[in-house]
Chains A and B, each alone.
Chain A
Amino acid sequence: MYRYDHYDQALVDERVAQFRDQVARWKAGELSDDELRPLRLQNGLYIQRHAPMFRIAVPYGMLASRQLRCLAELGRKYDRGYGHFTTRHNMQFNWPKIEDVPEMLAELAKVEMHAIQTSGNCIRNVTTDQFAGVAADEILDPRPLCEILRQWSTFHPEFAFLPRKFKIAVNGAREDRALTWFHDIGLHILKTDDGLVGFRVIVGGGLGRTPIRGEIVREFLPWQDILTYCEAILRVYNRYGRRDNAYKARIKILVQALGVVEFARQVEEEWAYLKGGPATITQAEYDRVTAFFGAPAYATLPTIDETFVAQQADSVPFARWVERNVRPHRIPGYASVTLSLKKPGIAPGDITSDQMDIAAELADAYSFGELRVTHEQNLVLADVEQRQLFALWQEAKAAGFATPNIGLLTDMIVCPGGDFCDLANARSIPVANAVQARFDDLDYLWDIGDIELNFSGCMNSCGHHHVGNIGILGVDKGNEEWYQITLGGEQGNDARLGKVIGPSFAAADVPDVIEKIVRFYIAQRFDDERFIDTFRRLGADPFKVAVYGDKARLKAAA
């Protein structure tokens, strides 16, 4: 993975000094709370329900074992011995003191980490596919271009005070695993028949209170031009995006207001001045960065390891874990493993400091010392030998990482919700745990099969409920927590938004409602038909009847 040179290191060190000074001036009364707010947010520091919340970037999800050990230590020293992985390759701590954050940043800087632009109205952490570099369906490894984008966006002088936050996702494979249709800019790496590499540029997607699928602004942009083109997009947004209403300030609102044709025209007009300028990426820079992402020293192994096959035949639990949590690898004899952070009863995405240390050890022992953080809030060991999987499984199981539920109902995406977050309308963790408890029978869970359940505690949609096959949204009705259910959302190439099925429910009813939906699906499905495919075939109405009974039937008939 990428390693800092003295330039990169100086920038994060200078950032620590800058923030240390800002906090000192704030304590001395030289900076007001309002003046500090955007400065601390651009270092990932929120003031939350119980304490500050501190969000650390894991750029495009790549994490070295020594970095994870540093996070473990920060959790012990400054928090309560655990952290939380978000849906955008970040780690959050919920209990640090503001005064400690400069020191935490200094410790992070020692392992080439930072919290730069993890919040605030600026360009956020660039995200990508957790299987970048190892996926069989990959067109081009997106990580070098993600790193180039990271450097370009870090302290960008023109775009530090945008109308609203700005998120970029890059996908380099045939299957979209980075939710690119729902980012401010989504980039698909493409290769033409002539071998030219570039991007399809999608702008104006997003979830939040106004969920919108992004629109294609350019079908093919040569890779060398991506920085100048992003500057053109951001300049149009910075100048003309709305600033009078925070709820209408994202670029998606500007794209919708202008129409994508006019928006694209303005971007191209701006780009005409920037195209070919000094920010055009050089082959030398691309090669320099790409060298950091070269293949590790893979062993030469048979495509299928016989011991591994026998071990699966001998142990049903191991075979189940392999089926759900292990993916094929492009290198013979290797596999990619997802460590589940969705053990029922634990807040999804939470990980203790001790577990972080163990995950770091597993990475060192089995996967070249590297991990990836997924937007589904799990960890990935990308390069594991098949012949080592059984040993890894046993260690992962002991550490609570081996719940064989990847892609199943209990592998939910869940935001921290009202237990921690100031914005939330409702708690998400206890309700998610109640749903997990309802589906605690592994055979039943397996029988249900692939299904994505996403849960947000408020309209800001950090839990991606809009794109869950089943989405749960916490809403506030007269100071009470209620939960609205959506069906039919989907991520991937055919990404789309779910639709609300009807009136919301009390927390205690949510497991029943999910069960009704699932039971109806099981009764209706053909053979191996996935939930989302049954839903597409039948439409929402029969599911509404399954949930609401005759009331929905009458309404559907009307």
Chain B
Amino acid sequence: MTKIIKNRQAVADDYTLLKLAEGEVAETVALPAGAVLVPLAVWVARKTELLARGTPVGVWLDAGEGPEAIDADLAQLPVIGVNFPKFVDGRGYSTARLLRERYGYQGEIRAIGDVLQDQLFLMARCGFDAFALRADKSIEKALGAFETFKAPYQAAVDQTQPLFRRRAA
């Protein structure tokens, strides 16, 4: 079983990531058994069916898809994936912050796609708590990334007060 980083530890991944291959469509794609992380389009088309399975189901948002698309469903989703098609595509950072700070989402937010060690610190600050590191990279080495900076300046999800308010205290 593949591993992911969750809460700063390497753990077994319970979910199967479903991606639509060329020619597959949301309405008819075969759903893998067990816990599954499905694309937004599959969730929208087959929400009732997915919930009726009785096994955990999460949705992953692509870089151009925002949390607005699932805001009414958040309570039903234990995991939301946020895809980074390329690690230099930074839209997912805003998606995670919005999920946590605007929509109050408490479940797992998992970075998927081109997820690399050198971005983990920033992702964690934005509210990601799970990371499906790119398969060719070492999870053990990446675990050190969360300690890169001990007291960053800005308020974010992990530290809700900016340094200037903590300095003053």
Contact = CB atoms under 8 A, between A and B. Distances in A.
Interface in B44-97: 66, 87-91, 93-94, 97
A43 to B, nearest CB: 12
A239 B63 CA distance: 9
B125 interface: yes
Contact of A235 (B94, B141, B153): B94
A295 interface: no
**Which size class do A's interface residues fall under?**
35 or more
B32 interface: no
A278 interface: yes
A159 B154 CA distance: 11
Contact of B94 (A14, A121, A238, A243): A238
B150 to A, nearest CB: 6
A158 interface: yes
B11 interface: no
A287 to B, nearest CB: 10
Contacts of B161: 278
Contacts of B34: none
Nearest to A285: B164
A190 to B, nearest CB: 23
Nearest to A156: B154
Interface of A: 5, 7, 10-11, 14-15, 18, 22, 30-31, 35, 38-39, 121, 148, 151-152, 154-162, 227, 235, 238-239, 243, 273, 277-279, 281-282, 284-285, 288
Contacts of B88: 38, 121, 161
B118 A22 contact: yes
Interface of B: 66, 87-91, 93-94, 97, 102, 116, 118-119, 121-123, 125-126, 138, 141, 148-156, 160-165, 167-168
Contacts of B119: 160-161
Contact of A273 (B87, B89, B102): B102
Nearest to B102: A273
Contacts of B116: 35
A10 B149 CA distance: 8
A156 B90 CA distance: 12
A10 B150 contact: yes
Contacts of B156: 157-158
23 contacts: A7-B163, A10-B151, A11-B151, A14-B148, A15-B149, A18-B148, A18-B149, A30-B138, A154-B153, A155-B149, A155-B153, A160-B93, A161-B88, A235-B94, A243-B91, A278-B165, A279-B155, A279-B162, A282-B168, A284-B168, A285-B164, A285-B165, A288-B168
A238 B162 CA distance: 21
A341 B147 CA distance: 43
A263 to B, nearest CB: 16
Contacts, number: 106
A282 B125 CA distance: 22
A148, A156, A235 pick with most chain B CB within 10 angstroms: A156
Nearest to B147: A14
Nearest to B84: A161
Contact of A282 (B123, B151, B164): B164
Contact of A161 (B87, B102, B121, B160): B87
A35, A157, A160, A273 pick with most chain B CB within 10 angstroms: A157
A15 to B, nearest CB: 8
A243 B64 CA distance: 10
Given A22-B118, A281-B164, A157 B94 contact: no
Given A7-B163, A11-B149, A278-B155, 8 more contacts: A5-B167, A10-B151, A11-B152, A35-B116, A161-B88, A162-B90, A277-B155, A279-B154
Contact of A7 (B122, B138, B151): B151
Nearest to A239: B94
A-B complex: 4 closest residue pairs judged by Cβ atoms: A161-B90, A157-B125, A285-B164, A278-B155
A157 B126 contact: yes
A158 B126 contact: yes
A11 B116 CA distance: 21
Contacts of A157: 93, 121-123, 125-126, 152, 154, 156
B66 to A, nearest CB: 7
Contacts of A285: 164-165, 167-168
A425 B116 CA distance: 35
B152 A159 contact: no
Contacts of B125: 157
A519 B123 CA distance: 59
A156 B121 CA distance: 11
A7 B169 CA distance: 14
A277 B138 CA distance: 38
Nearest to A11: B149
A152 B162 CA distance: 9
Contacts of A15: 149
Contacts of A11: 149, 151-153
A160 B165 contact: no
Given A155-B122, A157-B122, A157-B156, A14 B162 contact: no
Nearest to B97: A158
